[in-house]
Amino acid sequence: MIELRAPLTEKAVRGLKIGDTVYLTGDAITGRDEMHMRAVECSRQGKAVPEGLVGSVLYHSGPIVIKDGDKWKAVAAGPTTSARMDSLEPEMIRRFGIRAIIGKGGMSKETGDAMREAGCVYLAAVGGTAVSLAESIVEVIGVEWEDLGMAEAMWRFRLDKMGPLIVAMDAGGGSLYENVRSRLVR
């Protein structure tokens, strides 16, 4: 078991290997389809992007968040299917220097190539374990692009030992999904 602390350095990221189990502490942002489209669009047009995006840990999640007094609170926040973001993820990784992606189900070879080039890992959260994962979100620091709706907005979370997360695609080009797929018995 490895404890990681965000912001992540390229060295720390490149030290991770597929099959490692990690727990992550520090800040992360959420992003799904709509957030990816808007972030890339802004960047292409030279517009500013919200704080926290560059060099971030990007969590593919559309959480259930409630207002608790004047603060937000995440009540359920598991990973969403990462493959939906494959078309924009290589560009996201290269433009914003994303250091880690947390999601489920894995991503394409093109995304893996961008990860290897830029120094980024894919951490598989256990799909559906929304309550446990929400408990590791100790603070909702803020929300950007709230007009995209609860699931699609960019939430900024502070995490305390989120996990278990499994290094499923590493910065050396390794993919646990690919290993499993190549050995499937039909």
Q: Binding residues for other proteins, per CB under 8 A? A: 19, 21, 34, 61-64, 66, 75-78, 80-81, 83, 104-106, 124, 126-135, 149-151, 164, 166, 168, 176-177, 179-181, 183-186
Annotated catalytic residue within 32, 36, 38, 60: 36
- Residue whose structure tokens are 């894919």: 122
- Apex 90 CA angle, 62 and 178, nearest 5: 85
Q: Answer left, alpha or beta for residue 9, where phi above 0 means left and psi between -120 and 50 means alpha.
A: beta
CB of 130 to other proteins, least distance (A): 4
Active site residue 60: no
Cis, peptide link before residue 164, omega less than 30° from 0: yes
For the bound state, the minimum distance from the C-beta of residue 51 to other proteins, rounded and expressed in Å, comes to 24
- What is the nearest approach in angstroms of other proteins to the Cβ of residue 148? 9
Burial track 123-139 (b if 16+ CB lie within 10 A, e otherwise): bbbeeebbebbbebbee
- Closest distance of CB 85 from other proteins, Å: 12
CB nearer other proteins, residue 13 or residue 18:
18
Of the pair 40, 118, the CB lying nearest other proteins is at: 40
Q: At what angle do helices 33-44 and 89-96 cross, to 10 degrees?
A: 50
Count of CB atoms situated within 10 Å of the CB of 19: 12
- Dist. CA 3–CA 21, nearest whole Å: 9
CB of 134 to other proteins, least distance (A): 8
- 62 in Cβ contact with 30 (< 8 Å): yes
Which C-beta is closer to other proteins: that of 127 or that of 172? 127
Closer to other proteins by CB, 11 or 186: give it. Answer: 186
Nearer to other proteins, 118 or 162 (CB): 162
Q: Catalytic residues, which ones?
A: 36
